[in-house]
């Protein structure tokens, strides 16, 4: 276990160190809030950030390792697609500000903003890693055509989590109920608009990062 974690950390040491330090900062903010208010409200953000890291772990593995079989690749890509909406889901946690006290409103705003920004950043890095690893065996034009659709699915996944309250693993735990609800939601303009809006944000951010990386003369890559 320790060897596996060590191998993962050193596979991209500088980036992982930065993400760990940012996560530590986010955790300290929650501890300070708990000390001040004697409440663990917003501690669910820790769990949400943990879920946001799962696709990053998968993409980092695929980025630095090449699975020996197509089946293993397919399984890992499928799991990644199921969990990647969690990275962007934290953006919707601003809804909890309506439950905060006015005296610490802006502190709670800062906490959620930090977790949302960190989750979003992890999601974009993970997405970029997956695109890079997939580029070795998938047609580049096909990837460009499929990218908007994947981003839409991510936006739809965020909607499923926030509005329908499903989790990533419910596709195995409650598949029939999930499929039935999805069939209904896909006919709703509000659902499509939500998915398109969030998916567009992910897509635009990816394109900006790709443009910056292409024109970046240094060795630093996101």
Annotate 180-199 with DSSP letters as a single string: HHHHHHTT-HHHHHHHHHHH
Q: What pLDDT shows up at residue 174?
A: 87
pTM (two decimals): 0.90
Residue 110, phi then psi, degrees to nearest 5: -65, -45
Q: Are 221 and 212 in contact (CB under 8 A)?
A: no
Closest C-alpha among 160, 169, 166 to residue 199: 160
Closest C-alpha among 62, 110, 113, 53 to residue 87: 53
Q: What pLDDT shows up at residue 1?
A: 58
CA 76 to chain centre: 15
Q: What pLDDT shows up at residue 139?
A: 75
Question: How buried is residue 192: exposed, middle or buried, by Cβ count under 10 Å (0-12/13-18/19+)?
Answer: middle
Q: What pLDDT shows up at residue 178?
A: 87
Which residue positions in the chain have pLDDT lower than 70?
1-5, 68, 216-222
Q: What pLDDT shows up at residue 220?
A: 45
């Amino acid at each position: 276990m320790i060897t596996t974690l060590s191998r993962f950390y050193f596979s991209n040491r500088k980036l992982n160190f930065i993400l760990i330090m940012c996560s530590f900062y986010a955790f300290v903010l929650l501890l300070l809030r708990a000390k001040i208010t004697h409440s663990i409200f917003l501690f669910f953000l820790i769990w949400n950030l943990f879920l946001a890291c799962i696709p990053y772990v998968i993409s980092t593995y695929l980025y630095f390792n090449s699975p020996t079989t197509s089946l293993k690749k397919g399984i890992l890509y499928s799991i990644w697609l199921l969990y990647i909406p969690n990275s962007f889901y934290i953006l919707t946690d601003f809804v909890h500000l309506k439950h905060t006290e006015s005296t610490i409103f802006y502190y709670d705003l800062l906490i959620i903003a930090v977790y949302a920004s960190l989750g979003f950043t992890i999601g974009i890095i993970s997405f970029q890693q997956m695109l890079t690893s997939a580029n070795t065996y998938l047609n580049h034009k096909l990837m460009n055509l499929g990218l908007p659709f994947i981003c839409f699915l991510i936006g739809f996944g965020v909607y499923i989590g926030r509005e329908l309250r499903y989790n990533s693993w419910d596709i195995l735990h409650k598949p029939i109920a999930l499929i039935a609800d999805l069939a209904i939601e896909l006919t709703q303009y509000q659902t499509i608009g939500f998915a398109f809006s969030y998916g567009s944000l992910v897509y635009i951010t990816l394109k900006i990062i790709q443009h910056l990386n292409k024109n970046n003369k240094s060795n630093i890559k996101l």
